Amino acid sequence: MEIKKAKKLSGSLAIPGDKSISHRAVMFGSLAEGTTKITNFLEGADCLSTISCFRKMGINIENTEGEILVHGKGLHGLCAPSETLDVGNSGTTTRLISGILAGQDFVSELTGDASIQKRPMKRIMTPLSQMGADIISLNGNGCAPLKISGKKLHAIHYNSPVASAQVKSCVLLAGMYADGITRVTEPVLSRNHTEIMLNYFGANVTAEGTTASIKPDPSLYGREILVPGDISSAAYFIAAGLLVPNSEILLKNVGINPTRDGILRVCRDMGADITLLNETTEGEPTADLLIRSSALHGTTIEGAIIPTLIDELPMIAVMAAFAEGTTVIRDAQELRVKESDRIQVMTENLRKMGADIQETEDGMIIHGGKALHGAEIDPHLDHRVAMSFAVAGLLCEGTLSIKNGECVNISYPEFYSDLYSLAE
């Protein structure tokens, strides 16, 4: 994929559905009684992997353009899959489904692509084992493929060493099959879509500070779900609109849940002109975002804000390279175990463009404002790295080419056409 410098960005864009919320809607709809209708579902490869896994466990899921119907069979209605569940590239599918599988009365195996087979699964194997589940890494390396023999589970209070919504959600979902109230405390609050949506389906989840608790054996009922636009997908356009001179764009229907909105806070810290319009507050909050070109300056990003923008840090690293002054990113060691080692891959590729960037163990230090030039970018098949560099390509001199650019299909199949619909 080749990207050329843009003169300006203008117009408006409806941001595709949120990936985290789309996964959960299919999962919880499968465990509910009756039909769940999902509108604005994200048809990215990751969410399609979740659909395929639940179909293999006997759930009828209809997919007509833009709308998904999940015919749920209740909490105890899944069937043993006759083949290995393929999670593709999706960490969310792997970790959340493992919590559900741990409570079933059958044995299952799941695996995915080369990246997923390197991602750490001990973080879910540990709490699930404490609950009495039998979960093993078939290669003995703490990664997928995983074999899960479902059991009657015990309730625990799990103190998670990582702020991870995937770990928290895994334990809460297993908690539906436990013998008492299951609690998870995390060091810093991570995204809370599981808590919000499980309650909407009829479960009893309470949250206090960084502890979430769930009562076992809930009756879940099919619901209608309108998936808000994904702020993680909006992030590329927020950055492009701010950085490309003379731009003004409107991003419609973006989810602004406070556990996800760190990108807005950081952009404003950097001097961004962003206006929220048409805000809604019921369920998952949303707004239209009006973005105007702004002169950005460096900032420090650390501590409790990190989980609220964890997937946006590749884009923030690119923004920092084009901003004046120094940006320091700390406490983001989780970036090393995402779809790629995002600290290493961002540093390597930004350097190829001429950026002054230093890799640290838990982040990056970026001295911005240098003139950057086109380069051959290798995103290591990581969708978010590819999209971040596509934005860099709108700004630098010369052509920027992205190896395996189609990897954006994981979370945003229409990314390049949406980008070119705004760029001149």
Residues assigned a catalytic role:
311
Which of 9, 17, 20, 260 binds ligand S3P (CB under 6 A)? It is 20
Distance CA(335)–CA(145), nearest Å, equals: 22
CB of 47 to ligand S3P, least distance (A): 10
Nearest to 6 by CA among 264, 213, 240: 240
Strand partners, 407: none
Please report whether residue 92 would count as binding ligand S3P according to CB under 6 A. yes
Instruction: Mention every residue, 6+ apart, whose C-beta is less than 8 A from residue 98.
Output: 110, 121, 124, 128, 135, 146, 148, 170
Instruction: Mention every residue, 6+ apart, whose C-beta is less than 8 A from residue 282.
Output: none
Q: Which stretch binds ligand S3P (CB under 6 A): 162-170, 207-215, 348-356, 367-375?
A: 162-170
Which of 40, 166, 294, 308 binds ligand S3P (CB under 6 A)? It is 166
Please report whether residue 310 would count as binding ligand S3P according to CB under 6 A. yes
CB of 215 to ligand S3P, least distance (A): 21
- Closest CB to ligand S3P among 183 and 338? 338
To which residue do tokens 């590239």 refer?
89
Instruction: Mention every residue, 6+ apart, whose C-beta is less than 8 A from residue 281.
Output: none
- Closest CB to ligand S3P among 32 and 163? 163
CB of 112 to ligand S3P, least distance (A): 14
Q: Which stretch binds ligand S3P (CB under 6 A): 129-137, 165-173, 290-298, 322-330?
A: 165-173
- Closest CB to ligand S3P among 262 and 369? 262
Q: How many other CB atoms are there within 10 angstroms of residue 106's CB atom? A: 13
CB of 76 to ligand S3P, least distance (A): 24
Task: Please give the single-letter amino acid code of residue 287.
Answer: A
Q: Which stretch binds ligand S3P (CB under 6 A): 65-73, 79-87, 112-120, 158-166?
A: 158-166
CB of 45 to ligand S3P, least distance (A): 13
Strand ranges, E, within 94-187: 107-111, 134-137, 146-149, 157-159, 182-185
Residues 321-340 binding ligand S3P (CB under 6 A) are 334
Please report whether residue 372 would count as binding ligand S3P according to CB under 6 A. no
- Cβ burial, residue 203 (10 Å; 0-12/13-18/19+): buried
Please report whether residue 407 would count as binding ligand S3P according to CB under 6 A. no
Residues 187-206 binding ligand S3P (CB under 6 A) are 190-191
Distance CA(410)–CA(210), nearest Å, equals: 30
Nearest to 284 by CA among 264, 256, 308, 251: 256
Which of 164, 233, 327, 347 binds ligand S3P (CB under 6 A)? It is 164
Q: Which helix (H) or strand (E) holds 14?
A: strand 10-14
Residue 260, helix vs strand vs coil: coil
Please tell me whether 269 is known to bind a ligand: no
Please report whether residue 98 would count as binding ligand S3P according to CB under 6 A. no
Please tell me whether 95 is known to bind a ligand: no
- Closest CB to ligand S3P among 47 and 85? 47
Can you read off the two tokens belonging to residue 279? 């805000």
Binding site feature residues for phosphoenolpyruvate: 19, 91, 119, 166, 342, 384
Binding site for ligand S3P (CB under 6 A): 20, 92, 164-166, 169, 190-191, 310-311, 334
